[in-house]
């Protein structure tokens, strides 16, 4: 905790504790825009990647089911923009709801609202602007995908409150963060089928794994202030739980790809993903916050391995 506080104090004015030092916001953003960029986590893109990748998996899976070829680049681009702004809106909403809790946690008290860089009213206005941009993106899809996208808002709205009532807030995060696994397929087909449903379950299990690792950074503060998480629930049994979550993830992912006519090239990427997961579990130290953060961030690479395998397999089949 002392080392973490020293690291926070050494950071540039206005930066936040869990952002990489020297990130583009700290270096290039105007002083008036910096707090808003940090509020939307533009200085910490890992969350955008973790929200976006299930969308891209779903689009690639849909293309494979259509007979192969390059995934729809229009959908790839729209989902990238949508993930960027909706993750920003979701984080802003989360910070508004959690502003009193964030003041009490070493890693989060430097965020724009608890540190006084942005008022709650300013944050709310910023959230509305981001949400409107996200709405414009959603309206580019077919009517089924639009309706499906709107239904996710209830889950998103409840997530920040879950840590107050259950030790499983990571499950609710998984339900919200992997909605793109359904939405990508719906945008391509105008309907749903078993492959995206299985992909959704895979994503939920994946989120339970990586966000449990992430939550171990705050477990001491969380225990003191009464906030719940799977990290606190699992404790020293975390590695066993991670093995179960990631095994479910790989199983559902593999069946989803098989159902959508995935081939040998995807199997290679699936094996690479399994090896990456094994590295995460074997090198995890739940009492080393820096290690937990590194492993959490490495899930971007895991997701890109899977996406690359899906795309390559689809192109080969075409």
What pLDDT digit, counting tens, does each position of 275-318 carry? 999 999 999 999 999 999 999 999 999 999 999 999 999 999 87
Instruction: Give the DSSP letter of residue 109.
Output: T
In the predicted structure, residue 12 carries a pLDDT above the cut 70: no
d(CA 238, CA 301): 22
Fold of domain 33-317: Tetracycline Repressor; domain 2 (1.10.357)
Cα of first residue to Cα of last residue in the chain, in angstroms, is 54
pTM of whole model > 0.85?
yes
- How many angstroms separate the Cα of 291 from the Cα of each of 39, 82, 250, 269, 295? 24, 30, 23, 25, 6
In the predicted structure, residue 183 carries a pLDDT above the cut 80: yes
**What's the mean pLDDT when you consider all of the chain?**
92
Q: Which two tokens stand for residue 103?
A: 């003041």
- Model confidence pLDDT, tens digit, residues 64-109: 999 999 999 999 999 999 999 999 999 999 999 988 888 888 778 8
In the predicted structure, residue 27 carries a pLDDT above the cut 50: yes
In the predicted structure, residue 10 carries a pLDDT above the cut 60: no
d(CA 39, CA 37): 5
Residues sharing a CB contact under 8 Å with residue 148, sequence separation 6 or more, in sequence order: 179, 182, 183, 186, 192
- Model confidence pLDDT, tens digit, residues 128-180: 999 999 999 999 999 999 999 999 999 999 999 999 999 999 999 999 999 99
Residues sharing a CB contact under 8 Å with residue 269, sequence separation 6 or more, in sequence order: 305, 306, 308, 309, 310, 312, 313
d(CA 135, CA 112): 25
d(CA 57, CA 306): 7
What does the domain layout of the chain look like in residue ranges? 33-317
């Amino acid at each position: 905790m002392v080392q973490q506080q020293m690291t926070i104090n050494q950071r540039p004015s206005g930066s936040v504790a869990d952002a990489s030092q020297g990130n583009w916001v700290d270096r290039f953003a105007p002083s008036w825009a910096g707090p808003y960029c940090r509020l939307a986590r533009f200085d910490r893109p890992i969350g955008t990647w973790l929200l976006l990748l299930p969308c891209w998996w779903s689009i690639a899976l849909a293309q494979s089911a259509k007979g192969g070829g390059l995934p729809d680049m229009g959908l790839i681009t729209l989902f990238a923009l949508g993930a960027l702004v909706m993750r920003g809106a979701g984080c802003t909403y989360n910070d508004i709801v959690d502003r009193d809790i964030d003041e009490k946690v070493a890693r989060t008290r430097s965020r724009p609202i608890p540190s006084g860089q942005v008022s709650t009213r300013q944050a709310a206005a910023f959230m509305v602007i981001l949400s409107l941009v996200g709405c414009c993106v959603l309206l580019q899809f077919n009517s089924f995908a639009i309706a499906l996208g709107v239904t996710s808002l209830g889950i998103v709205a409840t997530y920040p409150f879950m840590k107050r009532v259950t030790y499983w807030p990571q499950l609710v995060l998984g339900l919200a963060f992997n909605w793109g696994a359904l939405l990508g397929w719906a945008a391509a087909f105008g309907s749903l089928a078993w492959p995206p449903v299985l992909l959704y379950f895979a994503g939920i299990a994946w989120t339970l794994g990586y966000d449990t690792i992430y939550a171990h950074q705050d477990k001491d503060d969380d225990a003191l202030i009464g906030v719940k998480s799977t990290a606190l629930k699992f404790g020293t049994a975390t590695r066993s739980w991670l093995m179960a979550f990631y095994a479910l993830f790989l199983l559902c992912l593999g069946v989803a790809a098989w159902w959508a006519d995935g081939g040998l090239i995807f199997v290679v990427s699936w094996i690479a993903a399994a090896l990456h997961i094994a590295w995460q579990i074997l090198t995890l130290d739940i009492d080393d916050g820096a290690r937990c953060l590194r492993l959490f961030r490495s899930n971007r690479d895991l997701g890109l391995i899977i996406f690359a395998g899906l795309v390559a397999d689809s192109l080969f089949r075409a």
